[in-house]
Structure 1
Amino acid sequence: MRKHVVFTILFLLLLSGCSKGLPISEGVVHQFEVEPLLLGQISDDGRLLLTVTASEQVKVWRTASKEIEYQVPQNELLKPVRHALLSKDNRLLIMANYDTLGVWSVSGKTFVHKVQFGGVDPMAAISHIALSPNNGRALVAMTDGSVNMADLNSRLNNRFKPHDRPIDFLSFGNQGELFLTGAQDGKVGLWQFGSPKALFEKEFAHRVTSLSVNQDFSRFFVSDGLNAQHIKTLTRGEEVTQLNYTARFKVFRKALFIPTAELLATSSSKSHLSLWSTQTGDELGTWTIKTQREGATIVSMHATQTGMLYTLNSDAMLESWDLNALKAL
């Protein structure tokens, strides 16, 4: 009986996420900038890496060689740079300040064009941006809860107001027809591009602090502040599971579904990475990321087909994690 109790305690300690019990970090691959990042993104295929520093240096790096692929000239930037992202095919870079969206060609290393956007409230500012997989459509969300649905080819724009507070999350579906929104009013909605009619809406008690969709756009993860964290289905919003953990308070920020396993990776406002079973909602572990400055957080994550997870933090450090070690659990 005593041996059984000891084994159970050791097993629970292993699941607690202590990096000493199950070290899955492979260490820092590279630190791309000396100064901290305002924004950062690992591209969808992991080949490129976008950094926006505190001094508004905007660079696109080749991940493997650690060399600069393209740096946006300072005289072209829409300052202050508040939003930036790489397109799914790595060809385009889009950035926005308070009221203007700009498009750059990464492959052509040139500025393409810029478009001004507004909200229903004339004082509204851009709160989030998204680009469709074929680069033809853009979503420009505003702090008043409105969304601009812009066709970048025809320059046509439809605007509607699905939320009452700033929209912090936007995700396009794989075909660029559907998109998901999440806002500080606690609402999550699924919409068809060009239409103001919701396919479904869910309202939570607190503001949405994390929202992510899986690779085939069939499930999404949402964190309702400190209250509850759910994995739900698209397009009906049905409950799949709810995350389970022992901590009294746990903040959720970035989230990523691991395409090769039934896993969800999440980050916190602190320097922590957590992994979860998407089948049971159980926490498999929480680890501390490598940092240079106190308070550094994860700004982007990328998972490979070989079971590796890469995290980019606000210290511009790219760290690798071997998820294959979790198979023993």
Structure 2
Amino acid sequence: MRVISHLILCCIVIVTLNGCFFSDKEDQRWEIEPKGSTSFALSRDGRFALLYSQQEQLLLWDLKEEKQLATLGEQDAQASSVSHIRISDNGRFAITATQTNFAVWDLTISQADGLWSISDGLIRDVDIASTGEQVLLGLSNGKAIFIDLVTGRRIEFLAHQEKVNTVALSPNGRYAITGGNDYKAYFWDTRSGQALHVFEHPQRVNRVAFQRDGKLAFSSDGGNDAYVWDIKTGNKQAELSSFSRQLIFSTARFSDDGAMLITGTPSGRVQVWDTSTGDELNRWDVEPLKDTRPPRAVVYDAAFDSEQRIISASSAGIAQAWKL
């Protein structure tokens, strides 16, 4: 009994100390849309933010200068709600999408390069290459579609047997990762459409991400399984380890060197992980949307900035900075 008591006491101390190592104190805050947003994206360096709200439509912000750069307005003539936004790796272009169409924007001049409609499925996720010329779509009909907007070249990746929930495109547009309800994430070549690796999961895959140099990939499912993969070999490098009952992520992004991974959850938690061990390094809870019950906010995006901080963007219409 004494041994058991000591073990229980040790566990309590470990959990308590673990909580003490993490701080919820933010370093900076930008309250961009007080009524909340339906989609919110950050540039890779955490400087620029593009968000959509029913009240203000599409807004472009410079977080470093703490000012609004432009109002991009409505995406289409019907003022459809924008549900997905992704900014290219170099920060110049962005893709925004409703369920049935998508637009590409040149953020340097705050203008759209075009609007395209999708008729054979609902758009569930999007990504864009650094040139602004190649895009990747994940659809409800099980298709992942790669499109070169300049040449018109289109590849339909048909390996998924069910809905494609999440997509990621390499900065040069050459490779893609897609995850779906069929419990699989595929790493594939956008030139040939050939699958290069298959990453198996025990549940539906809901989040994938690329490390910008193409060395690592990330995939997670709707349960408690989240993995970092070695792209060259296709082998698992690490499995994220946490006391949380479920590891369901709404966003994920690697640091530039691939040493760390930042994730956000639908319940408002931001976490940083060691990609070599899968250990949690830090975590914070974002500001919830006002007057919501229960108080919560979805973390739509997160990034590492140049000041050794984490920048988070949530459905509360708020961006927050956290010291690593």
CA distance in 2, matches of 1:282, 1:210: 19
Count of residue pairs the alignment pairs up: 313
Alignment map for 1:280-295 (pairs within 5 Å): 280-293=277-290, 294-295=295-296
Offset from partner CA, 1:2-44 (integer Å, 9 cap, x none):
xxx9999766533x2x2x5442633442111111110001112
Partner of residue 225, structure 2 = 228
Contact 1:25 1:320 in 2 (8 A): no
User: After the TM superposition, which parts of structure 1 deviate over 6 Å for at least 4 consecutive aligned residues?
Assistant: 5-9
Q: Structure 1 pair 233/125, CA: closer, same or farther in 2 (3 Å)?
A: same
Q: Structure 1 pair 110/290, CA: closer, same or farther in 2 (3 Å)?
A: closer
Partner of residue 113, structure 2 = 112
Partner of residue 159, structure 2 = 162
CA distance in 2, matches of 1:269, 1:81: 18
Give the match's secondary structure for 1:158: strand
Contact 1:271 1:296 in 2 (8 A): yes
Q: Structure 1 pair 114/46, CA: closer, same or farther in 2 (3 Å)?
A: same
Alignment map for 1:18-33 (pairs within 5 Å): 18=19, 20-23=20-23, 25-33=25-33
Give the match's secondary structure for 2:26: strand
Partner of residue 304, structure 1 = 305
Contact 1:117 1:148 in 2 (8 A): no
Deviation at 1:263, TM superposition (A): 2.7
Contact 2:37 2:53 in 1 (8 A): yes
* The 10-residue stretch of structure 1 (259-268 or 312-321) with the greater mean CA deviation from structure 2: 259-268
CA distance in 2, matches of 1:317, 1:73: 19
Alignment map for 1:1-329 (pairs within 5 Å): 13-14=16-17, 16=18, 18=19, 20-23=20-23, 25-55=25-55, 57-74=57-74, 76=76, 79-119=80-120, 124-259=121-256, 262-293=259-290, 294-323=295-324
Deviation at 1:117, TM superposition (A): 2.9
Q: Structure 1 pair 141/118, CA: closer, same or farther in 2 (3 Å)?
A: farther
Q: Structure 1 pair 7/307, CA: closer, same or farther in 2 (3 Å)?
A: farther
Contact 2:28 2:322 in 1 (8 A): no
CA distance in 2, matches of 1:88, 1:227: 29
Q: Structure 1 pair 305/99, CA: closer, same or farther in 2 (3 Å)?
A: same
Contact 1:56 1:81 in 2 (8 A): no
Calculate percent identity across the aligned residue pairs: 21
Deviation at 1:285, TM superposition (A): 4.2
CA distance in 1, matches of 2:27, 2:56: 27
Contact 1:260 1:307 in 2 (8 A): no
CA distance in 2, matches of 1:22, 1:79: 40
Q: Structure 1 pair 259/96, CA: closer, same or farther in 2 (3 Å)?
A: closer
Contact 1:149 1:194 in 2 (8 A): no
Contact 1:214 1:259 in 2 (8 A): yes
CA distance in 2, matches of 1:91, 1:274: 27
CA distance in 2, matches of 1:219, 1:263: 11
TM-score, normalised to structure 2, is 0.85
Give the match's secondary structure for 1:94: strand
CA distance in 2, matches of 1:112, 1:258: 29
CA distance in 2, matches of 1:70, 1:261: 32
Deviation at 1:49, TM superposition (A): 0.5
CA distance in 1, matches of 2:26, 2:124: 35
CA distance in 2, matches of 1:259, 1:206: 29
CA distance in 2, matches of 1:73, 1:214: 32
Deviation at 1:261, TM superposition (A): 7.5
TM-score, normalised to structure 1, is 0.84
Q: Which residue identity is paired with 1:302?
A: A
Q: Structure 1 pair 307/261, CA: closer, same or farther in 2 (3 Å)?
A: farther
Q: Which residue identity is paired with 2:67?
A: E
Deviation at 1:69, TM superposition (A): 1.5
Contact 1:210 1:222 in 2 (8 A): yes
* The 10-residue stretch of structure 1 (160-169 or 74-83) with the greater mean CA deviation from structure 2: 74-83
Offset from partner CA, 1:94-120 (integer Å, 9 cap, x none):
22233322233332333332223344x
The answer for unaligned runs of 5 or more in structure 1 is 324-329
CA distance in 2, matches of 1:31, 1:138: 30
* The 10-residue stretch of structure 1 (78-87 or 313-322) with the greater mean CA deviation from structure 2: 78-87
